[in-house]
Amino acid sequence: MRAFVVVALFVVGLVRESMCVRFASLGVPGFVLRGESVWLDCGYDLEGNALYSVKWYKDNVEFYRFLPSDTPSAQMYKLDGVFLDLHRSNATHAFLYKSEMQTEGVYGCEVSTEMPQFRTIKAEKELFVYVIPDGNPSIYGVMERYPIGSAVNVTCVFGPSKPAAHLTWFINGEKAPDAYVRNFPTETFESDLSTSKTRLSFTVDPSHLRQGSLSLQCVAFVSLVHSKSSIELIVNDGMSGAEFQHVPHVPPGLDGPSITGSVARYFVGDTVDVNCSSARSLEPAQLQWFVNDNEVQPEFLAQYTPTVYLDGLSSTKLGLRFRVQEDHFRSEEMRLKCTATLAKVVQLTTVETPAVGPQRYQISANSAEGCHSIECTSMILATFMILYMS
């Protein structure tokens, strides 16, 4: 009986020691627009222990710390791109009053407890800084009127922005054929801003008209990534006897993707047949597969239709299929990683609706007054017909 009590007390002691501090959430926004302020939230639970320090890092360089035992408790360290408001920062939050391009980076919060446990935990998440210019895409080269048989040759420009926009042409609401479109290389500047440019060229025929009108539409799609999470499946070669490991890379408070269909061991010649499913989210997640940190080519991927749930959330799934080769095992192990990217897509549109058909001409009364002969009248009518038919 005494032995049982000793063991029980030992187990309880282990449980208490392992619960001295934990993260509840890490509030680092996935992205901000340049110039916006940023709230950084470090949500932790000390499990009844005393707080020793909270430290914030950008790209592993400390810029803010809070020590309750110090006077003053809060201290800041200058760092390019970090515009900290010390008076609005505390033990759980750090406030950046503005953002610039250099503000982008990986932000980490480190929490430590007092003695005797003196435990330290750290979590980090990437923050992106984006730029969207004021106004919609610009369309150049539009004529006032396009008679049947005339050439349309217009250019759409959007930027500078970060990231670069994807431009798409529509004719009367339908995506323009690829043969009509020429996309120019993106122009990128030193500040990581980019300008996108595309041209639309075709000859007008009746099939291009809808109820007698022609509508040219240029849409700029800008994808603002705000979250990346991944899970890694580490498998040893079949000869080692070791089973696989699932290693998640997910910020606290978020759900990452999951991998199904894997087996305990793989031998050379076996077929890998696994699926990656994203966590439920408002925006459909973009999934990517990596083998030993190299992105997988499309021919080894299996696409699935996203699943939409009754609450409006959705989940995406992407399959991976390939035959195991000897070079897939590095140091007797193979790493399969699935990454889920969530992005908000901003759509900006410009529409031009030029007139279609022949130019209409009017004969002024002054011109007609001085023309009374049959020859003069015939000349005017012939001239009008030529202009009308052109």
Would the pLDDT of 181 be above 80?
Answer: yes
Instruction: pLDDT band for 244, please (50, 70, 90 cuts).
Output: low
Tell me the Cα Rg of the chain: 32
**Which phi-psi region, left, alpha or beta, contains residue 311 (left: φ > 0; alpha: ψ -120 to 50)?**
alpha
Q: Measure the CA–CA gap between 245 and 290, rounded to whole angstroms.
A: 16
Pairing of strands 317-323, 271-277: antiparallel
Kindly report the number of other CB atoms within 10 A of residue 310's CB atom. Answer: 5
Give the residue-averaged pLDDT of 291-307. 94
Give residue 277's pLDDT. Answer: 95
Would the pLDDT of 383 be above 60?
Answer: no
Give the residue-averaged pLDDT of 366-388. 35
Give the residue-averaged pLDDT of 271-277. 95
Would the pLDDT of 334 be above 70?
Answer: yes
Residue bearing the bigger pLDDT, 370 or 220: 220
Give residue 315's pLDDT. Answer: 95
Q: Which two tokens stand for residue 82?
A: 């970090």
Give residue 142's pLDDT. Answer: 94
pLDDT digits (tens, 9 = 90+) for 55-113: 999 999 999 999 999 999 999 999 999 999 999 999 999 999 999 999 999 999 999 99
Give residue 287's pLDDT. Answer: 96
Preceding amide of 284 cis, omega within 30: no
**In contact, 121 and 138? CB cutoff 8 Å:** no
**In contact, 7 and 15? CB cutoff 8 Å:** no
Q: Which two tokens stand for residue 347?
A: 């759509």
Give residue 311's pLDDT. Answer: 87
Give residue 378's pLDDT. Answer: 35
Pairing of strands 51-58, 105-113: antiparallel
pTM of the model: 0.71
Would the pLDDT of 384 be above 50?
Answer: no
Instruction: pLDDT band for 239, please (50, 70, 90 cuts).
Output: low
Q: What is the DSSP string of 284-343?
A: PPEEEEEETTEEPPGGGEEE-PPEE-TTS-EE-EEEEEEE--GGG-BTTEEEEEEEEEEE
